[in-house]
Every structure is written in structure tokens, then in C-alpha cells.
Amino acid sequence: MRINNKRIIPLIESAYALLLVALCSACALLIIPVGAIVNLVSPSLLIIIILLLLYFLYKLGPQHLEYDSDGEVIHIIGKDVFWSKYFPAKKTMTEFPKKKLVSFRVRHFLFKKTLELFVTSKRAPNGITKLKFNITYLNHSEISDLKRSLYKIVKKNNEQITHTEEVAHND
């Protein structure tokens, strides 16, 4: 199954563009104070509010998510629409075999939703690694499709484990 929320890209780019234009305008008000605007609100306060909005948008995490479980591997790409253009490190790519997926969990915070995947790993001390992905910008149907796809994979993996154990026990 493939899930891709490309629809959010123009909205996020527009939000960043509006906030950056507003920030430039507020900075211009510091240099050239326009009496009608400066009497209503302080340019310094405007700059602080705009910077807080930019920080909040940045801290919500990567907006664009691509999930692909076709084939034998699960491939997930998460990237920040605006910042990944300038800083390639803001793009995360994960790929692992389906058979390594043990379980998953969707967590809801105030404004943020995250997907936690538990994957077997030889490098981890307890044998399981937790991978986190931001799914805040997925709509309800995309999240339910994602859960359904992961549930099928986990169920299939659990059936294979129990079948293998039964075969080993019978021998």
C-alpha cells in the first residue's frame, strides 16, 4: 500500500511564504515606522509573534510523508517541505524488511501525531529498535489506511513466528 500526502505541500509552502513576508514587513516597520500601524501594534511584538509561529510550524516536524509497503520492504520518507530544500539533512528515509516489524503504535499529543514502529535489530541491546515518524499532516483516512496496512504486516509476522515455533516444537 502506498500513502503520500502531497496535497499538503502547497499549503505549507504558502504558510511559510506568508510568515516570511510578514516577518520582512514587520522588520521594515522597525526601520520605517508607519504611524497608523505602529500605533495599533508594536513592530517588535509582531516580529516575536511571527518568529514564534515559524518555530511552532518547524517544531511540528516533517509535513510530507511517503509510505510504501509494496514488495518485501517497508519504505518511509519524511521531509520538511520548506527546510529540506535548503538543508538536505531534514529529510529522513527508512527502509527495512517487513519481517522485522514487531508492532506499531500511533500516539496523539496536543497538536502532534506520531507513528512508532518497533523493529527487530541486532544492534539494539534488547533486540528491538523504536522508529518514530510524524503523521500530524495525514488525514483520518490516510491514518486508518496506514494502521490497516501495518496491522496486516504485524499479523502476518506473528502467524509466521507461531507457525515456526509449532514446527520446531513438533520436531
pLDDT (tens digit per residue) in 83-120: 777 777 777 889 999 999 999 999 998 888 999 999 99
Q: In the predicted model, is pLDDT for residue 20 greater than 80? A: yes
Q: How many Cβ atoms are within 10 Å of 123's Cβ, its own excluded?
A: 6
C-alpha cell at 114: 506520531
- Average pLDDT on 56-71 reads 88
Residue with the three cell numbers 520538511: 80
- Range with lowest mean pLDDT among 29-33, 37-41, 48-52, 149-153: 37-41
More confident site: 167 or 2: 2
| pLDDT more than 90, % of the chain | 46
User: In whole numbers, what is the pLDDT of the chain averaged over residues?
Assistant: 87
What is the rounded CA–CA span in Å between residue 69 and residue 1? 5
Residues shown for the chain = 171
Q: In the predicted model, is pLDDT for residue 171 greater than 70? A: no
